[in-house]
């Protein structure tokens, strides 16, 4: 029996029960897999839920039953996969790269060479939201301000630190840093307990929608400049992008989209997970691609070819088998 761990899980959903599917026939051959996602307000949770739903529709045929857990985020998912307590997890491309190569917080832990990529999902942008009454107009204006940089264990925590350092701001000394989940930040901002917050998300984001529709007016702050240019040039897991404000966040005080940088959300697993399990999950998502894309607006512009980009860890053999069968790999 799999060990239990007292991990930071808000709730565990059995996807089949949520979607009124027929009762499963559980046998000794049933394989149970758990997908680590993220906070409820982001895109990771509904994405994980969509994958679990697709697998559970055919759980009697495949003998695989999937659940999704809401977790602290990318870094937590990765470490929990490596510890053997999750089979799959949604992980930012930068976290995937750093862990596999033993960088950043994995410098002491060492390279996570058993980490395996399955496929990429959607683009995410690093967003900086500030209250208008704080006179924050550029990332340099954060000095001396109260700023939420995200909870340790999330990918956005490292993104915020990278952005601040690239802009010449010391996260420990130059700002009054809060370290709570992104979903809690809009309330703190509206209550004037913080001046600004970072958030790495796909769009549209419920967290950002909540932040831009409160009584306290807010704006998105560009994350740009020579320091950010250098950061993106040196770290190939980062890309330049924009926050789609005019499309999704009309409540903000911006009149146009703003520049920033971003990452790619990916599905990862361990080399210890059987090939047929990874093959089955990959096949279900790609064979039912239109259904998958319809689960969240952030997935709407995906192409199958896009989902092989941004992967720095080796592909799992089960995913490789499927991609070669359908001609996405040679």
Residue 319 tokens read as 């995913």
Q: Around 301, how many Cα atoms within 13 Å sit in the side-chain half-sphere?
A: 7
Give pLDDT, residue 40.
85
Phi, psi of 325 (to 5 degrees): -60, -35
The whole-angstrom separation of Cα 129 and Cα 122 is 21
> Can you name the residues that pair with 198 across neighbouring β-strands?
128
User: What percent of the chain has a predicted confidence (pLDDT) above 70?
Assistant: 92
Residue 278 vs residues 24, 55, 70, 138, 320: alpha-carbon distances, Å = 20, 11, 21, 44, 9
Give residue-wise pLDDT tens across range 234-276.
Answer: 998 999 999 999 999 999 999 999 999 999 999 999 999 999 9
Give pLDDT, residue 11.
40
Helix (H) or strand (E) holding 265: strand 258-270
Burial class (CB in 10 A: 0-12, 13-18, 19+), 310: buried
Task: Write the DSSP assignment of 23-53 as a string of letters.
Answer: PP---TTPEEEEEE---TTSSHHHHHHHHHH
Whose CA is closest to 69, among 124, 5, 1? 5
The whole-angstrom separation of Cα 138 and Cα 130 is 10
Query: Coil, strand or helix: which one is 137?
Result: coil
Axis-axis angle for helices 93-101, 74-82 (nearest 10)? 40
Q: 67 falls in which pLDDT band (50, 70, 90)?
A: very high
Evaluate if residue 279 carries a pLDDT over 60. yes
Cite the DSSP H helix spans in the chain. Answer: 15-18, 44-57, 59-62, 74-82, 93-101, 155-166, 185-190, 206-212, 226-234, 245-248, 275-287, 289-293, 317-325
Evaluate if residue 125 carries a pLDDT over 70. yes
User: What percent of the chain has a predicted confidence (pLDDT) above 90?
Assistant: 86
Please state the rounded mean pLDDT for residues 295-318. 93
Q: Calculate Rg over the CA atoms of the chain.
A: 20
pTM value is: 0.86
Could you give all domains of the chain from N- to C-terminal order, each with its CATH number?
A: 12-122+264-325 (3.40.190.10), 124-263 (3.40.190.10)
The whole-angstrom separation of Cα 15 and Cα 32 is 12
145 within 8 A of 196, measured Cβ to Cβ: yes
Q: Which residues contact 107 (CB under 8 A, 6 or more apart)?
A: none
> Can you name the residues that pair with 289 across neighbouring β-strands?
none
Give residue-wise pLDDT tens across range 126-163.
Answer: 999 999 999 999 999 999 999 999 999 899 999 999 99
Please state the rounded mean pLDDT for residues 230-236. 93
């Amino acid at each position: 029996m799999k060990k239990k761990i007292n991990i930071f899980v808000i709730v565990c959903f059995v996807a089949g029960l949520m979607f009124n599917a027929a009762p499963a026939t559980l046998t000794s051959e049933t394989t149970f897999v758990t997908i680590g996602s993220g906070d409820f307000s982001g895109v990771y949770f509904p994405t994980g839920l969509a994958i679990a739903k697709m697998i559970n529709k055919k759980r009697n045929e495949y003998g695989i039953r999937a659940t999704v857990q809401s977790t602290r985020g990318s870094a937590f998912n990765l470490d929990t996969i490596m510890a053997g307590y999750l089979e799959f997890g949604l992980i930012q491309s930068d976290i995937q790269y750093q862990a596999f190569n033993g960088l950043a917080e994995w410098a002491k832990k060492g390279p996570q060479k058993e980490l395996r990529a399955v496929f990429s999902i959607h683009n995410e942008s690093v967003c900086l939201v500030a209250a208008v009454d704080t006179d924050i107009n550029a990332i340099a204006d954060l000095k001396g301000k109260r700023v939420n940089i995200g909870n340790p264990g999330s990918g956005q925590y490292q993104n915020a630190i990278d952005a601040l350092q690239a802009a010449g701001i010391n996260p420990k000394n130059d700002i009054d840093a809060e370290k709570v989940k992104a979903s809690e930040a809009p309330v703190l901002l509206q209550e004037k307990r913080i001046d600004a917050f970072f958030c790495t998300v796909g769009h549209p984001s419920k967290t950002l929608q909540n932040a831009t529709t409160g009584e306290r007016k807010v704006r998105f702050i560009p994350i740009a400049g020579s320091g950010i240019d250098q950061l993106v040039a040196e770290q190939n897991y980062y890309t330049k992008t924009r926050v789609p404000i005019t499309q999704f966040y009309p409540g903000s005080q911006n009149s146009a989209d703003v520049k920033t940088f971003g990452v790619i959300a990916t599905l990862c697993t361990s080399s210890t997970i059987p090939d047929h399990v990874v093959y089955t999950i990959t096949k279900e998502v790609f064979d039912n691609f239109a259904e998958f894309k319809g689960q969240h607006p952030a997935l709407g512009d995906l192409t199958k070819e896009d989902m092989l980009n941004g992967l720095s860890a080796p592909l799992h053999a089960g995913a490789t088998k499927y991609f070669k069968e359908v001609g996405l790999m040679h």
